Amino acid sequence: MPVAQPFESVIMRRLADEDATARLATMLAEVSRKGDVFALRGPLGAGKTTFARAFIHARRRLTGGEPEEVPSPTFTLVQTYEFPDAVVYHFDLFRINAPEEVFELGIEDALAEGITLVEWPERLGPLLPRHRLDIGLMPAETESSRLATLAGFGAWAERLGRLCLDV
């Protein structure tokens, strides 16, 4: 079992509803850049795919693109979205059995050249990049509210500390 890395910077936010989750995703989409890894954690139904969809829609708006469907990669395991500055890779690793399976999905290209959103990042085990932003989503008081925990690792520790994330 891999040893958990201690986080270097952490922010917690209550998200009142799905719109607040979308605002958080939009704020992070605005500052994202090639090489970024967003590790989306939480139980089934916690809002990981909702966050990823909002992130991708926000990047589309920011780059002047037309809206497009953003399906869950539950069955395909990865979906890609091309933008002028980078490709966004959206992985759902719930169904993989071993970390090495991600090489067949193109994870190396994603990490080297893209912006990577990973649902179920714990399935990567030792392959999970050190420089990343972990976004934990947990159900809160109401059906649509969430508690978001953002933990910055490596280069993301400093970046996270500079962000104003008022949602």
Output the domain CATH number for residue 89: 3.40.50.300
Which pTM was predicted?
A: 0.90
User: Quick check: is 92 in a domain?
Assistant: yes
**Chain-wide mean pLDDT for the chain?**
90
Specify whether the CB–CB gap between 131 and 156 falls below 8 A: yes
Q: What domain count does the chain have?
A: 1
User: Quick check: is 154 in a domain?
Assistant: yes
Between vectors from CA 77 to CA 147 and to CA 3, what angle results, nearest 5°? 55
Question: Which tokens sit at 77?
Answer: 């395991």
Query: Stretch 53-82: mean pLDDT, rounded?
Result: 88
User: Quick check: is 123 in a domain?
Assistant: yes
What is the residue range of 104's domain? 11-162
User: Quick check: is 6 in a domain?
Assistant: no
User: Quick check: is 5 in a domain?
Assistant: no
pLDDT (tens digit, 9 = 90+) per residue, 78-104?
999 999 999 999 999 999 999 999 999
Q: Given pLDDT bands bounded at 50, 70 and 90, which one contains residue 3?
A: very low
Query: Stretch 12-27: mean pLDDT, rounded?
Result: 95
Pairing outcome for strands 78-82 and 9-15: unpaired
Question: Which tokens sit at 107?
Answer: 């994870």
Residue 5 has pLDDT above 90, yes or no: no
User: Quick check: is 43 in a domain?
Assistant: yes
Q: Given pLDDT bands bounded at 50, 70 and 90, which one contains residue 164?
A: low
User: Quick check: is 3 in a domain?
Assistant: no
User: Quick check: is 74 in a domain?
Assistant: yes
